[in-house]
Every structure is written in C-alpha cells, then in structure tokens.
C-alpha cells in the first residue's frame, strides 16, 4: 500500500466531499479556468491584542483542487523563522472582477537557520567538533485560522487578494491578521 502523505490526504478529503465537487463553473471573468497552481506573496500585519502589531512578508502557494476549493500554504516571516498557515480556501462566484473567499485552517511555527561549526576543547586535549549544519523545525498547528476577503482579477493569470484572518488558539483570539497578496497562476489550467 502506498504511503500516505499530507498532500495526498488533503486530495482524498477534497475528492470525498460532494459539496465541493458540484461547483464547476470557470472562475475568471473571461471564462477561463484557473491554473492548477498559483504562487505569490504579499504583506501580513498580525495584530496581537495587548501586545502590538508586526508587519511581515508573506510567501504563499495555492493548489486549486476544484474551481472553488483550494489548499493554500502561507509563511509569514520577517526572516528565517515565523508562522506558517495551512488552510482550505473556498471562493465564491465572481461579481465583476471580484470574488469573495473564506478560509479555515491551522497555524504553526517554522524555523530554519544556519548553525556554525562549534569546537569544544576538553581538558584532555580532545577537540569535539560539532559540524556546521542547517537546523529546521516545523511545529504542529497550535491555532486555528478563520478568514475571508476578496480576490480581484488583474489579468487572466494575476489576481490580488485582500482580506483578514482571525488566529484562534486555546479558545481565545490570539491575533487578527490583515493580509494582502499578489498571486500568479503558473502551469496548465484546470
């Protein structure tokens, strides 16, 4: 039996959901179907109640499983560590060049950094060499995200997202994040 990966599980879940399978209309105003994959980036401003706000760069990728359902992975980080946001995204029918969308998913933390070589000389004269390496860590999602916004079609492959997201963990709102992103469809269309 083939080994399951998170992505294949996502695909399986989406295929099994009849609700998502019924929406088949094209989602660009010019009657074109979406690209399978969209990549892009933008800015995210999480507001942490009582703690302040931050402005971070966001890089994200989206896989359009159906015309209205997608899986989206975003990273919000000022550098080599930050939050990741993995969520499902449901997009409504376009009205003019805009369409509304809703998201729901999980938020976790990732970190990647270069660790320099470290040498420790022992009293016996031995030198213990800890080699340079790249340390990387991804946590399980520790918060749920609920969001929404509007997508604006700039061309048949370029869209702009404007929206917000509530990060909820342990029963309380951790932050509200304002998000903007520019997405470019790549590869074949669905």
Partner 1 sequence: MFRARPVLLLLVAAAACETTPTAPTVIEPPLVPAVATAVPLRWDSADELAAWTTPVSTGPFSIQGDSTDAVIRVDLIAGNAALHGPELDPPLVDVQGVRMRYRWLNRQDGDSLFLPVYLRPPGVPTTLPRLLPPSSSADFTLIRSGAWMERMLTTNSVTKSLFSARYAVLKVTNTLFTAPAPPSHGTVEIDWIEIARSTGSSDE
**Cα-based distances in Å from 127 to 114, 115, 117, 122, 132:** 21, 18, 12, 6, 15
Question: Which CB sits closer to partner 1, 102 or 176?
Answer: 102
Q: Is 17 helix (H, G, I), strand (E, B) or coil?
A: coil
The least distance separating partner 1 from the CB of residue 50, rounded to whole angstroms, comes to 27
β-partners of residue 97 are none
Triad 190, 89, 167: Cα angle to 5°:
155
Residues 5-44 that bind partner 1 (CB under 8 A): 6, 9-10, 13-14, 17, 19
Q: Which lies closer to partner 1 via its Cβ, residue 136 or residue 155?
A: 136
Q: Find the binder of partner 1 among 105, 147, 149, 163 (CB under 8 A).
A: 105
Sign of CA dihedral 94, 95, 96, 97: negative
- C-beta of 52 vs 125, nearer to partner 1: 125
Q: Output 158 or 166, the one with its CB closest to partner 1.
A: 166
Work out which of 31, 131, 171, 188 binds partner 1, going by CB under 8 A: 131
Q: How far is the CB of 72 from partner 1 (least distance, A)?
A: 11
Chain residues 154-183 in contact with partner 1, contact rule CB under 8 A: none
Q: Are 91 and 151 in contact (CB under 8 A)?
A: yes
């Amino acid at each position: 039996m083939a080994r399951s990966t998170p992505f294949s599980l996502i695909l399986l879940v989406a295929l099994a959901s009849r609700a998502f399978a019924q929406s088949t209309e094209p989602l660009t105003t010019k009657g074109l179907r979406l690209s399978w994959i969209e990549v892009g980036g933008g800015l995210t401003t999480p507001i942490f109640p009582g703690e302040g706000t931050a402005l971070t760069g966001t890089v994200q990728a989206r896989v359009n499983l159906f015309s209205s359902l997608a899986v989206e992975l975003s990273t919000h980080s000022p550098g080599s560590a930050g939050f990741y946001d993995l969520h499902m995204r449901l997009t409504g029918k376009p009205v003019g060049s805009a369409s509304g969308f809703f998201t729901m998913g999980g938020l976790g933390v990732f970190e990647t950094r270069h660790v320099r070589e470290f040498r420790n000389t022992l009293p016996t004269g031995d030198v213990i060499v800890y080699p340079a390496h790249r340390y990387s860590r991804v946590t399980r999602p520790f918060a749920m995200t609920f969001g929404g916004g509007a997508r604006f079609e700039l061309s048949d492959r370029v869209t702009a997202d404007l929206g917000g997201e509530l990060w909820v963990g342990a029963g309380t709102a951790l932050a509200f994040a304002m998000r903007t992103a520019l997405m470019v469809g790549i590869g074949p269309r669905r």
